[in-house]
Structure 1
Amino acid sequence: MGIRTLPVLTPLNTSFWTAGRDRHLRILRCCACSSWIHPPSPICPDCLGLDLSPQPVSDHGVVEAFTVNHQAWIPDEVVPYIVAIVSLNDCPGVRLTTNIVGALADELRIGMPVRVLFEECEDVWLPLFTPA
C-alpha cells in the first residue's frame, strides 16, 4: 500500500502491534470476566478488572463495512485502497479498522470471510485482511 502512518508503541498497545512477529493476532482479554478488549485499555470496561492478558485469537473474520479511498492524504500514498471494519470470528464485540488487500473493491461484499496477514513496518506488524 506504500506509505503508512505507524502507531506509537506504548506498554498498553505493544502486544497488539507486535503480535504479527509470530503471525498471531492477539487481543487483550480480561482474566476475571473473559471479556475481549479492543482497542487496548488498562481496565476492563465490563467488570473493571485490572488483570488483562493478550490472547491469541483466530486469524479469520468477516467484513462488516468498507469504503474505497481515492484521496492521497499524505505525499506518495498509493491510492485507491480499501478501508474496512472487520469483526473477528472468536472475539464477540471486537471490530478492527483495517485495510483489505489482495482484492478489488468490486469483489468485496459485506459478510465476506477474510483472514489476517501482517505487513511488517519498522517495529510494528500491521494486521491487514485478505479474502479467505
Structure 2
Amino acid sequence: GTAFWSEVYSAFDEITLPKTAQMFMNHHQILDYRRFAARQTNDFLNEHCLLIKKYARNQWVTTNYIPNYDEGHIGGSPDLDFESYTRYMVYGDNEGIGRRGYRVGNPLRIAFANDFF
C-alpha cells in the first residue's frame, strides 16, 4: 500500500472525494483536491482560450468567475485577455443589513469582489 495524507491506501479506489462537511475529514486531502480542481479549471480555460484564438485571432477571450476566493483558480489562466466575475445581487443571503439584506446580501462581499477583480 501507499502512505499518503497520513493515511494508508492499498488501492486507488479507496481514495474518495473530500467532503468538507464530513467529520474528521483529512485536511491535507482537501487541500490537494482543491489544488487539483483549480489546476484542472485553469488548464481547461487555457485550452479553450487558445482554441478560440487559433480560429478567431482578433477575438478577445474572458470568463466570468464566481468570486469564491479560497478556491485558488482565479488568476491562473494567463491566456485570457482579462478576467471578470459574476455577482448575483439577488441570491438570498440572509447575512445582509437592513430591510433589503436578504435581497442584496452582505455589502462587504460586493466591495471585496470589486476590489479583488
What's the TM-score once normalised by structure 1's chain length? 0.23
- Structure number with larger C-alpha Rg: 2
What's the TM-score once normalised by structure 2's chain length? 0.25
Q: Which has the higher strand share?
A: 1
Point out which structure has higher relative CO (alpha carbons under 8 A, 6+ apart).
Answer: 1
